[in-house]
Amino acid sequence: MGYQDAPSGGGGKLSLASVGFAGPGAGAGGGGYKDLLVMALPKDDGLDGAKVAEVIGIRLPDVAGTMRTILGRREVREFASGALAGAMSKAILAPLETLRTRMVVGVGSRHIFGSFVEIIEQNGWQGLWAGNTINMLRIIPTQAVEMGTFECVKRSMAEAQEKWKEDGYPKIQLGNLKIELPLRFLSPVAIAGAAAGIAGTLACHPLEVIKDRLTISREVYPTISVAFSKIYRTEGIGGLYAGLCPTLIGMLPYSTCYFFMYDTIKTSYCRFHKKSSLSRPELVVIGALTGLTASTISFPLEVARKRLMVGALKGKCPPNMIAALSEVIREEGLLGVYRGWGASCLKVMPNSGITWMFYEAWKDILLADKDKQSV
């Protein structure tokens, strides 16, 4: 494709300045490219420089503007708040996670202090942070997905219910009978909590599997790359999603209760004390109570889930969650389904409290301008 030389005294050729990018809004000062292109074209009465510039000019992408738009979205800032909160809380509480995992799956001592001493004797102080790298890699995207999904779904459900109140709730047709769906009874917070748990689990389950392998059998799986390679080579892609179904089953009641309790307690507390916001210590206490309640309700399912996920290491893996629970009750009695509950609460309560405190703090920082605009 070429251009014929113009007969005017403009030189007959396009200058190098004309070979560039043009278009209004092309980044900072982007409009200048079009002006330069028009000025560089040969002077010809039959040639409309502006039209040529529009035809052959290429608009520069406004990368900076696009990034500002993306980072300015409320959803992105909520995802970032969740990621930062998860990273900070896990860095502080990693030793409690290690103790809890060992006790839940039945490795070593059955007592918290005994398990603590065993770890120090076998692996030194760094053993308390065994699997912490993968834990950080896991918790950052998990918390981001869970918190971000919770906020998005809660807002969407609340808006949908408001619309349904005005326009009527959806109905289904059964012959000549129209039945209104009982959507008025759905709690936006509970639905959002369940969605958050499902989304976080589906996105980050392989990292959970690798983290457990590093924690339970450090000599077999010394590093993240070795763990990933061995699991994939011996068990295939399915090995990275071992225990997914029981995880989802156990996650649903926990996640639903966890988010529902936090939102309900926080809202009720603010209403009772006529507060618009809570102090950091108050958020820690409410978050801790939320974690305790949710963990207690779903703990037997957590025990079964952990048994299934690490069953391959012991050479005996129950076929399903019911079989895993039956095995625990048969070997240890009914109280066996709550084995490690103390250690779990010791980890869950401070973790939940600190996570919610950091999350609310980061939201206050990152969403300050959004909140001002909505006032």
Share of the chain above pLDDT 70, in %: 76
Q: Which pLDDT band, with edges at 50, 70 and 90, does 138 fall under?
A: confident
Cα-based distances in Å from 238 to 156, 235, 359:
34, 6, 33
Q: Which of 2-6, 237-241, 349-353 has the lowest mean pLDDT?
A: 2-6
**What is the rounded CA–CA span in Å between residue 60 and residue 38?**
17
- Domain boundaries defined on the chain: 16-65, 73-156+188-374
Measure the CA–CA gap between 357 and 21, rounded to whole angstroms.
49
Average the pLDDT over 32-39 and give the result: 53
CATH fold group of domain 73-156+188-374: Mitochondrial carrier fold (1.50.40)
User: Residue 374 corresponds to which tokens in the numbers above?
Assistant: 């909505």
Q: Is residue 294 within 8 Å of 262, Cβ to Cβ? A: no
Query: In whole angstroms, what is the distance from residue 85 CA to residue 83 CA?
Result: 6
Backbone angles phi, psi at 23, to 5 degrees: 130, 140
Structure tokens at 26: 């092309």
pLDDT-derived band at 272 (thresholds 50, 70, 90) equals very high
Q: Residue 223 is encoded by which pair of tokens?
A: 């590093």
pLDDT digits (tens, 9 = 90+) for 305-357: 777 766 655 666 666 778 878 888 888 888 888 887 887 787 789 989 999 99
pTM: 0.68
- Give φ, ψ of 179 to 5 degrees: -115, 125
**Cβ–Cβ under 8 Å, residues 251 and 198:** yes
pLDDT attached to residue 6: 44
User: pLDDT digits over 307-320, tens only?
Assistant: 776 665 566 666 67
For 164-201, how does the pLDDT look when each residue is reduced to its tens digit (9 = 90+)?
A: 888 887 888 777 787 877 778 888 999 999 999 999 99
Cβ pair 315, 220 in contact under 8 A:
no
Cβ atoms < 10 Å from Cβ of 270: 14
Lowest mean pLDDT among 62-66, 163-167, 292-296: 62-66
